[in-house]
Structure formats: C-alpha cells, structure tokens
Amino acid sequence: MAVRPWGVSMKLIIASKCYSSWSLRPWLLMKAFAVPFEEVVIPLRTAGTAQAIAAYSPSGRVPALIDGPTTVWDSLAVIEYLAERRADLSLWPRDSGARAVARSISAEMHSGFQALRQACPMNLAFRFAARDRGEAVAADTARVTAIWRQMRQSYGAKAGPDGGPFLFGGLSAADAMFAPVVTRLDTYSIPVDPVSGAYMDAVLALAPFKEWRAAALTEPAIAGYDDIGETPIEHFRSA
Ligand SMILES: N[C@@H](CCC(=O)N[C@@H](CS)C(=O)NCC(=O)O)C(=O)O
C-alpha cells in the first residue's frame, strides 16, 4: 500500500476570517510551521452555512481538519492531532515540563475567559475605543496577561537558542491558542502591561497573521457581527 506523504491531502475547514476566532488557531499554526493544506472557507450567517459546515464537521462547528479518512474537529483537538502527525515539527515546546504548562494554559484558554469572549467578539475590521467593560472582563484580562507575563518570564524571555518573543520562546501551539485573545485585546483597546503588549505585537507581526488579516478585510461584512452597539474608532476594510 502506498504511504501517503505527510499532510499532502489535508484540508482545513474554517469560517469567515474576520470573525472566526476558533478557525484562526490551527490555520495560523499550520501556516507558521509550513504544514501544507487546502483551506475551505465557509462564510458565517448565510442561509447555507449550517449545511456547508455539516458536510465536513459532525459537530456543525469549524475548524475541522480532514486528513484522508480522518476528520478531526474542535480547534484544540485539531492542534493535538497535528502535533502528533507532525511530531518532527515540535508544535508544542520540546521540554516536557514546558510542554505540560503549555497544554495547561491552552486548556485554560479553551474552556475559559467567557466574559472576555462574550463582551469582545473577534472582529478584525475595526478598532473600538477603550472603555470600562465590567469587572468580569477585567478579571479575565488580568488572568490572561498574568499567564503571558509568567510564560515570558519563565520560558520565553530566556537568553540563548530557546529564547524568542513568544510564550515559550519560539512560536508554539500555545501562541496559536491565544492568538484570538491577542486580537480581541487589540481590537477593543484593552490596556495591558508592557510585557503583554510586546507579546501581542509579536503575534500581530507574524507574517501568517498578517496574511489572515488581509484576507479577512476582503470578506463581505456581516452586519450581525459588526453591529455591536459601539462606533469604531478605526475601520480597516478597504471597501
Ligand atoms: N470549541 C470549538 C468551537 C467552534 C465554534 O464555535 N466555531 C464557530 C465558528 S468560530 C462555528 O462553527 N459556528 C457555526 C455557525 O455559527 O454556524 C473549537 O474550538 O473549535
């Protein structure tokens, strides 16, 4: 039986890039680590969205990854699958202690920070003014930025080959998991400490993130997502 080369047939099913925070995670990781894939973008909130997603994903949600006969859904499961299939790439940190912490903060992100998510949905088309968004959002922000400071101090900011601008030095799956939070804090002008600010700048400056954002800004606007009852202070869509 012929052995299928790694990744050749992988297909990543995602939703509108402007708004789909979950889709950004595996897409960014795969691009940053040059894992080849074909993308299928399903626009959100159309008459055909649910049916189009259901054709690929048993949960009715994206992202989903199709790798030959295998379908994986849920962003964290997709990332774990990729880390296993492409063990050669070390998508998680190489050190087992660091890897365990990276998985812990990723799981915390995956299942938490509901207030921040709800009050500040991902929207790459605008920037909104800083304002008090309530205690729960402030508490989520405090925890997220405490995680970032701690990871930077304990792992990322180390001198030498293991250092780098990301949570564990070089880019890892943990950064992909937090990328949508980075965009939210940026979009809603939420004040952060200098260490977190520098980390956010590093994520936002990633070439694959810029590629994602550029594509997001060419998509048709979805009024239901754009109308959040606030007037943007910056508009990034070209048309
Ligand atoms: N926990 C899931 C959440 C996936 C999710 O909610 N995806 C949204 C898009 S960001 C979706 O598929 N929505 C379908 C719809 O709105 O019709 C994950 O991590 O992948």
| pLDDT tens digits, one per residue of 16-46 | 999 999 999 999 999 999 999 999 999 999 9
Radius of gyration of the chain (CA): 18
pLDDT tier for residue 156 given thresholds of 50, 70 and 90: confident
pLDDT tier for residue 239 given thresholds of 50, 70 and 90: low
- Which atom of ligand 1 is closest in space to residue 57's alpha carbon? 12
- For 78-120, the pLDDT digits (tens) are 999 999 999 999 999 999 999 999 999 999 999 999 999 999 9
Evaluate if residue 204 carries a pLDDT over 70.
Answer: yes
- For 42-66, the pLDDT digits (tens) are 999 999 999 999 999 999 999 999 9
For residue 12, which of 86, 108, 103, 82 has the smallest C-alpha distance?
A: 82
Q: Identify the residue whose C-alpha is closest to ligand 1 atom 17.
A: 50
Evaluate if residue 234 carries a pLDDT over 90.
Answer: yes
CA-CA-CA-CA torsion sign (43, 46, 47, 50): positive
pLDDT of the residue at 157: 81
pLDDT of the residue at 159: 72
pLDDT tier for residue 4 given thresholds of 50, 70 and 90: low
For residue 25, which of 145, 126, 175 has the smallest C-alpha distance?
A: 175
For residue 64, which of 10, 9, 13 has the smallest C-alpha distance?
A: 13
pLDDT tier for residue 8 given thresholds of 50, 70 and 90: low
Q: Is the CB of 10 under 6 A from ligand 1?
A: no
pLDDT of the residue at 1: 44
Domains of the chain: 11-89 (3.40.30.10), 96-215 (1.20.1050.10)
Do 176 and 28 contact (CB within 8 A), yes or no?
A: yes
Question: Residues of the chain with pLDDT > 70: what percent?
Answer: 95
pLDDT of the residue at 27: 98
Q: Is 134 left (phi over 0), alpha (psi -120 to 50) or beta?
A: left
pLDDT of the residue at 98: 96
Q: Is the CB of 20 under 6 A from ligand 1?
A: yes
Distance CA 216, CA 20 (A): 10
* Choice from 27, 62, 65, 114 to test ligand 1 binding pocket (greatest atom count within 8 A of CB): 62
- For 160-186, the pLDDT digits (tens) are 767 799 999 999 999 999 999 999 999
Burial profile 166-196: b = 16 or more Cβ within 10 angstroms, e = fewer: bbbbbbbbbbbbbbbbbbbbbbbebebeebb
